[in-house]
Amino acid sequence: MTLDINMDIKFLSAGMIIEDIFAVIKVERKDAASGKKFLKAELSHVSGMIGAKVWEESIPTAPLEPNKVYRISGRVDAYKGSLGLVITQAWQLDDEVIENHLKPRKSLVFDIETAGEDYEDLDKWSQDYLLDKLQYNTQDKEKAKQATALYPMFGQVVAIGMLNTQSYKGQVLALKKNKVKDMNLDDVNFTLLTFESEKQLLKHFWQIAAKFEHFISFNGNNFDWPYIIFRSAKNLIKIPFEITRNQDQQTDLMDKFKGSAIYSLEALCRAFNITNPKEKGISGLHVSKLFKQDKTIDIANYVSRDVVSTWELFEIWKKYMAGKIVL
């Protein structure tokens, strides 16, 4: 079967012969276990993304290069449960605008805020574990006692800010002792939804997250995701999909901007003239106190600012630093 006009990647099946226009996102030269050489490519079509191979005998007629548009002919193949293309021919289309053939991924920018138990409320074992193991490098013991929010053993998720990069609509999920409606945030693009328990909040977050393909964060790999997963387990919530460091699933901007130093989000906002989310005098260090004071709006406004700054930083990385097309 040949499929050409109005092709939709979602409806491909093994054995189909296709010919259509694709943007080439990425190309790598590989060696198969047999020693045979091939090109491994990532293709974008207006209907979605698909992987592809060009075996060495076809490379002369399909010499793919990234960031270019081709009319591609090949066969749909199935390997380990995933569909891909085996390309036999490719014709570069110099007059095609690559943006017309890109399918943006459904991406979610997110950030969490956490609040911890008072040190005095911890049992003796927990106090010793916090000071002697988790905070052993902190010379100021009074400061170390204020660090409970950093650890999911002693803290909880009290707010999650989220932004849909396609619609530019955001939402904050937040804990509040008495659930209320119609609480307005400073940023009109964000709405607030409150919950009376962390379990309800996390369940709702996972329902939303499951609808997205790609996640953008700042230090999400080392803090936000591990914290959310730990607290989900604590609340007996089974997470609906695996979280990996795969770049197709995650863009952690702390990792992207890491060089000889690890920069804070505030420092990068200053360096790139992005609105600093902490300029109104609130930072993550204040969240535990604000939560105890039931200042949900202050927490929600802060996390929404964090999310917007993360998104603006992502746009800078994507445009100037990624070195490749980022969907």
Q: How confident is the model at residue 325 (pLDDT cuts 50, 70, 90)?
A: low
DSSP state of 187: S
Could you give the domains of the chain? 2-101 (2.40.50.140), 107-321 (3.30.420.10)
Q: How confident is the model at residue 96 (pLDDT cuts 50, 70, 90)?
A: confident
Answer whether residue 1 shows pLDDT above 50.
Answer: no
Query: Which pTM does this prediction carry?
Result: 0.78
pLDDT in tens, 54-70: 999 999 999 999 989 99
CB 327 within 8 A of CB 135: no
Which tokens go with 97?
């605008």
DSSP annotation string for 249-300: TEEEHHHHT-SSSPPPHHHHHHHTTPPPTTTTS--GGGHHHHHHTT-HHHHH
Question: Among 54-58, 172-176, 234-238, 245-249, which stretch is predicted with the lowest mean pLDDT?
Answer: 245-249
Q: How far apart are CA 96 and CA 64, in angstroms?
A: 15
Q: How far apart are CA 24 and CA 44, in angstroms?
A: 6
Which tokens go with 8?
């939709």
pLDDT value at residue 280:
72
CB 83 within 8 A of CB 50: yes
Q: Which residues of 176-213 are buried (b: 16+ CB within 10 A; e: fewer)?
A: beeeeeeeebebeebbbbbbeebbbbbeebeeebeebe
**Would you say how long the chain is, in residues?**
327
pLDDT value at residue 228:
99
Q: Identify the residue with better confidence: 214 or 283.
A: 214
Question: Among 40-54, 76-90, 166-180, 275-289, which stretch is predicted with the lowest mean pLDDT?
Answer: 275-289
Helix (H, G, I), strand (E, B) or coil at 206: helix
Q: How confident is the model at residue 179 (pLDDT cuts 50, 70, 90)?
A: low
Mean pLDDT of all residues in 176-196:
85
DSSP state of 163: E
